[in-house]
């Protein structure tokens, strides 16, 4: 159905999930030249197995034959018999379901609604949209949820919410003319209010080096509690990430909001720069996923891995921090959060 303004609210990621949705790696264009079974699928086995300790996991596959293949890979990887995992035949163009999947929100009566935003492959950078744009309707049908379509380009990784009206996003992405030409901040804020329940939008500047999304916020700054954010910082002043991340840190510290309370800001280090065939990759610990029982944290065989684990464990003492080897994942230009989409629990 077409969008009409109404009261919708996106819950925080740490709120109870019914499930998390993934798409099994299959697109050679995502990880060009890489052996997916050997280099990428092990990270997926880790993610599915860890998430299934606390919630249902849905995985999109290409065909019935692919379902059987994925089931065998998960068994071989140690997924217990009877684990709450459902494999769907739902062909997609690529794996980044955070950006093309339905964003599940609540309406004023507490019913789940699948919001369906226009996906244009990150500003028309890739010819991979036709099958991806069918996923929100399929998710809505599986959940028995109403689907509400928004005539606005937005990817799930471009926003992060605290579940109480605050939304984080970046000027470099949502104000980019390759998304919604002609929209200004006030227009974007109106859509975020209509679709996610935003009462205040916190605008950051640029994203991290190597990010082909024009600056998704989930690669650098995330809510971890209602008034607490964790934000990536780069200590090396000669690194391309130093200045933009410092600017974002200062914006967060200055922001006060309508009530004047401001935010508690926790810093998270960056791993050392990673490159593949001379290309800078968007390696960041901020691309974590908060599950019911675990936090999936990308790690990079870097000295700062241990620092990031410690920061996240202090922020989420009731969840197990699971390191996911993202050294090969990030060659696809994303990691754990980009590859997943949570489904809030029914109320």
- What CA dihedral angle connects 112, 167, 326 and 44, to 10 degrees? 0
The single residue listed with the structure tokens 């692919």 is 66
Between CA 50 and CA 78 the distance in angstroms is 11
Please count the residues of the chain: 347
Quote the DSSP letter at residue 235.
-
Sign of CA dihedral 194, 197, 198, 199: positive
Q: Is 61 labeled as catalytic in the residue annotation?
A: no
Residue of 184, 240, 167, 256 lying closest to 207 (CA atoms): 240
Query: Residue 281: is it exposed, middle or buried by C-beta count within 10 angstroms (0-12/13-18/19+)?
Result: buried
228-233/221-225 β-pairing: antiparallel
List b or e across 14-24, with b for residues whose CB sees 16 or more CB atoms inside 10 angstroms. beebbbbbbbb
Backbone angles phi, psi at 152, to 5 degrees: -135, 140
CB atoms within 10 A of CB 124: 11
Residue of 72, 108, 34, 104 lying closest to 281 (CA atoms): 34
H or E element in which residue 275 lies:
strand 275-276
The single residue listed with the structure tokens 């859509």 is 191
Q: Which two tokens stand for residue 300?
A: 């990079």
Question: What is the SS3 assignment for 113?
Answer: strand
Q: Which residues are catalytic?
A: 338
């Amino acid at each position: 159905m077409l969008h009409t303004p109404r009261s919708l609210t996106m819950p925080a990621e740490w709120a109870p999930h019914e499930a998390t949705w993934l798409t099994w790696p299959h697109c050679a264009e995502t990880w060009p030249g890489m052996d997916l079974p050997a280099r990428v699928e092990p990270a997926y086995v880790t993610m599915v197995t860890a998430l299934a300790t606390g919630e249902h996991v849905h995985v999109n596959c290409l065909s019935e034959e692919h379902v059987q293949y994925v089931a065998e890979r998960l068994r071989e990887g140690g997924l217990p018999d009877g684990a709450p995992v459902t494999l769907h035949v739902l062909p997609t163009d690529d794996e980044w379901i955070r950006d093309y999947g339905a964003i599940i929100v609540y309406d004023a009566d507490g019913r789940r609604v699948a919001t369906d935003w226009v996906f244009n492959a990150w500003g028309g950078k890739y010819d991979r949209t036709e099958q991806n744009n069918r996923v929100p309707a399929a998710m809505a049908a599986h959940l028995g949820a109403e689907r509400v379509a928004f005539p606005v380009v937005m990817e799930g990784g471009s926003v992060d919410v605290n579940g109480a009206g605050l939304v984080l996003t970046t000027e470099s992405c949502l104000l980019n003319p390759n998304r919604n030409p002609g929209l200004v901040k006030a227009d974007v804020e109106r859509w975020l209010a209509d679709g996610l329940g935003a009462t205040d939008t916190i605008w950051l500047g640029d994203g991290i080096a190597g990010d082909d999304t024009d600056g998704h916020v989930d690669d650098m700054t995330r809510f971890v509690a209602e008034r607490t954010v964790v934000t990536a910082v780069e200590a090396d002043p000669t690194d391309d990430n130093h200045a933009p991340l410092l600017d974002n840190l200062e914006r967060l510290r200055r922001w006060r909001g309508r009530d004047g309370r401001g935010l508690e800001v926790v810093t998270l280090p960056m791993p050392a720069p990673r490159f593949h065939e001379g290309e800078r990759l968007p390696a960041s610990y901020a691309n974590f996923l908060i599950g019911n029982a675990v936090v999936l944290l990308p790690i990079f065989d870097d000295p700062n891995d241990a620092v990031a684990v410690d920061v996240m464990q202090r922020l989420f003492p009731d969840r197990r921090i699971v390191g996911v080897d993202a050294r090969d994942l990030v060659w696809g230009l994303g990691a754990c959060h980009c590859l997943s989409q949570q489904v809030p629990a029914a109320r």
